[in-house]
Structure formats: C-alpha cells, structure tokens
Structure 1
Amino acid sequence: MGALQLTVIYLILLLTSQVISKEEQWKSATATYTKETDGSIITEGACGYGDLHKASYGKYSAGLSTMLFNRGSTCGACFELRCVDHILWCLQGSPSVILTATDFCPPNYGLSADYGGWCNFPKEHFEMSEAAFAEIAEKRADIVPVQYKRVKCERRGGIRFTMSGSAHFCQVLITNVGLDGEVVAVKVKGPKTGWIPLARNWGQNWQSNINLIGQPLSFEVTASTGRTVASYSVAPANWQFGQTYEGKQFK
C-alpha cells in the first residue's frame, strides 16, 4: 500500500472520529421540574401530544427553552441528561435519564435569568417532570446544572397517526417516532391522489385542506437526518376522526 493511500485512510479515520466525538459531546444547560400529582408531566403541551401517558412519553418528558425548542421542530427528539458539578443536589454517580421533548418552556423576562427566568433567551434549559428529575438530583433543589446530548429514541411499536379535523380540514398528529424522533416533513396519499405534502400546523400536528374521507391513507414521514419511512394503507377506508393508526417504524 502506497504512502498516498495510507494518508487518505488516515484522513478518513480522523474525520470519522471527529464526527463521532461531536455527536457524543455533552453540552451544558440547566434543569428544573414541575410538580404534578403523580410526578409526571401529563397535560397537553406545545407539541400537541395531549396526555403524554397515552402518547407513551409519560414522566420522561421535558419542556425546552426557546434555544432548544426551535419553534416546535424539536418536538419528539430525545435527550440524555445528567446532573453535574453540584455536590449537594446531584445524585452520586451522576446517573442519567433520557427524555422526549414534548413542550415549550416560555421565557419570563420579568425575572432574572439566574433566578426564575430559567428559560429566558438564550439559555438552554429543560423543565422536567418531578419523577424524572428525582432520578438525577435531589428534589429539594430549585435548579441544577446539567449536561445533555441528543440520543436515538427507543420506541415500542410503529409510528402513530392520530386523525382529527373535518371534511375540509384534516389534521394528523405524529407520535412514537423512533431514532431521530424529530419529524421535518409528512406526506399523505390515498388511492385517488399522489403523495400530498402536509404543512406543520403546530408541534407535531400536520394538516391538509384536501378532503381525504373515505379513502385508505398512506403516510410518508421524513426525520431530521433525511431518512424517510412510508407506511401504506395505515388508515382503512372507514377511518374516523379521533382514531389512532399505527404504521412502520424507523430502523
């Protein structure tokens, strides 16, 4: 093997290692928690998931500050968090927890970013459920320093499509998305149509103004990395508003 070939291989390995280290790099942020009766965030948030237990996210959910929320496009993404650099509040061994982005933590510019205005721009902050927070820190803490990184979402079953709207306005809520978790594009198709791009309404609710009633529906979901999965005839011809249908999953 020549010197030029060895140099090329070395450069490829170097670039690959840099990409991997960048993906695995921990970033600094802060975290607080909201008090719920069962220790979980169960109320409908800015991502539109509704009851988070039904959406399979439950207590492992978080509201994100403006910097992280990215106008809702981060909904469904997964983050690993660990409490760091606080001898009183962080649990020993620095255990981590994996959360799904399900809500927006709004800024409060009437309060200091150091006390109360945790989600003020440009801070990076996670508002966790009480139960999830207790897995990494003492609940007596008001706020703790954390490190976080994006991780792949592990989901059971396929991507779920929940229908709502009317004959002239069809809306689809996308949940239980694996791997990236973050959906950037959705298309729908019936036997009488080609693939129709849906527009993001809010969070992970996607809409179309075309009447799709009476047709079996197929969906194509594109994740933030550009990967696409198509689920054919997921909703039968007699599908109903308010019903949820399960398709294929990212692998």
Structure 2
Amino acid sequence: MDLSLKYSCIFICMIMLLPAFSYSQTLKSKAAFYATADGMGTPTGACGYGTYGKDVNNGEVCTASRRIFRNGAGCGACYQVRCKNSALCSEEGTKVVVTDSADGQETDFILSFKAYAKLAKHPSLAPRLCGKGVVDIEYRRVSCRYGGNLMVKIHEHSKYSEYLAIVVLNQGGTTDIHAVEVYEEESQQWIAMRRAYGAVWDLASPPCGDLKVRFLTSTSVETKWVQSDKAVIPAQWSAGLTVETDIQLT
C-alpha cells in the first residue's frame, strides 16, 4: 500500500474515534480574562500565530484549556461565549478565536480583556464584570467566517532550503486540521509534515520546486482531504512569506 494512503487511512480512523463537537452543542464552564497593554491578544500564544494572534477577530481572542486546544487542533476555532450573570451580562456575549492554551482554575477560557468586556450588557458594566475575575459561562462552537481563504505563512524559523515550517492561518471556526502534506513532483508522492506545535507544521529537507499543500480536515459531520489547485509554496520560498490558497474553511 502507498505510504501516503496508509497514513491517510490511519489519520481518518483515529479522527472518527474522537467525540464529535457539534457547533450547535451548548456547554457550561467558567471564564476569566488576561490583560495586555492594548486589551487585545498576545503575539506569543501557543498556536504560533505571532502578530496574527494579537489582531485576528479584532483582538477578541482567547486562551483555551487543554481539552479544547487539543494539542493544537483547536487553534483557530471560534466559540460564542456568554456569561450567566443576568444582572451584568448580555444575552449575546462575544465570539472569540482560540490563539493560545493554558489551564486556569476551573476555567476553559481565558479571554482577552477586549473580549471579556464584551460579555457585559453595557460598556459601563465592564469594570464590575472584570471585578468578578471568574464568571460562569455557556459556550458553543460557531463558524468564524474570516472573509478570506486559508493562508500559509512561512515561519520565521524556516531556513531555505534545509528546513521548512509553516503556520496555517484562517483555519475556520468549525473545521479542524489534523494533518498537512506537501506534494513532491519528482517522486509524485505526498510527504507528511509534522505538527511542531499549535498551528505550526514543519519538515526537514523539504522537496525542491513549487509545493502543493493538502490538509486533512474534520467537522462534526465529515473527515476529508482538501487541496489547493494551485502551487501554494513557491520553489524559492523565504521566511515570512504569506501565500493565500484557494481553499476556504468555515
């Protein structure tokens, strides 16, 4: 059996054994917040997003517990979060993007200050809500709708042509990415990349030439490979380069 096909089967079988997380499923937990100088996210999150992790979704981002982060598969996932204090909190709450991972005391979410403040019914109530520190919440997974296609950024630690690392951006709110492969024209084979951490995937001694990329994705209803129909990573790639694919995940 072709090795690429063999590993694809293994990945798919493993994913099918995971419990499905429906976007309509509402769960209960607790949330806190973290402070930055501007109230936005942090560029040093465990997903490896860099400044994207600070600014994405207008800075309304979160640090997720290990069970939601899922070793990086949860990076880029979107959640609608609302707190249960009816005197202080709105019915709608806030939509956040997972950019980091940490386990707080009984919390599944640690929101950026900007996101946490949006839980309040009115901006004037935000200081009182923040004074609580930790609040009871309900949350559910929702679509992000980034407004753009899946993007691949060459990580700054990459070294042409010895070591290639990429960061996957605009991943999609209800779609997880479990594997990434690049296509080598010479051998006509897909080569598996390794999840280095978070949304960062790497490969030592990458093949030469333009590289097509495909992603093993899963939602609550299906698991499949998705592939860009155009060359994603150019032959003469360099660290910091960002390339948009023709793939859009929701």
Same-fold call, TM cutoff 0.5: yes
> Structure 1 pair 240/54, CA: closer, same or farther in 2 (3 Å)?
farther
- In structure 1, stretches of 5+ residues that fail to align are 1-21, 107-118
Rg comparison, structure with higher value: 1
Shift of the alpha carbon at 1:160?
1.0
Contact 1:63-1:104 at 8 Å conserved across structures: yes
User: Which residue does 1:157 correspond to in 2?
Assistant: 148
Higher helix share: 2
State the Cα deviation string for residues 204-249 of structure 1 (Å, max 9, x = none): 1111123335x11211012233133211302222222221111021
Q: Residue 201 of structure 1 aligns to a residue in which SS?
A: strand
Instruction: Quote the RMSD (CA, aligned, Å).
Output: 2.4
Calculate percent identity across the aligned residue pairs. 26
User: Which residue does 2:123 correspond to in 1?
Assistant: none
User: Which residue does 1:238 correspond to in 2?
Assistant: 236
User: Which residue does 2:191 correspond to in 1?
Assistant: 196
Within 5 A, what are the aligned runs for 1:128-139? 128-137=111-120, 138-139=129-130
Equivalenced residues, count: 214
State the Cα deviation string for residues 155-207 of structure 1 (Å, max 9, x = none): 12111111131222211111111253421111111433421111111001111
User: Which residue does 1:172 correspond to in 2?
Assistant: 166
TM-score (norm 2): 0.77
State the Cα deviation string for residues 15-54 of structure 1 (Å, max 9, x = none): xxxxxxx652311011111111211113211111111367
Contact 2:168-2:199 at 8 Å conserved across structures: yes
Contact 1:95-1:135 at 8 Å conserved across structures: no
Shift of the alpha carbon at 1:55?
6.5
User: Which residue does 1:250 correspond to in 2?
Assistant: 249
Partner letter of residue 212 of structure 1? Answer: P
State the Cα deviation string for residues 88-109 of structure 1 (Å, max 9, x = none): 4x324x2221111110124xxx
TM-score (norm 1): 0.77
Q: Do residues 185 (structure 1) and 179 (structure 2) align?
A: yes
Partner letter of residue 190 of structure 2? Answer: W
> Structure 1 pair 179/64, CA: closer, same or farther in 2 (3 Å)?
closer
Partner letter of residue 243 of structure 2? Answer: Y
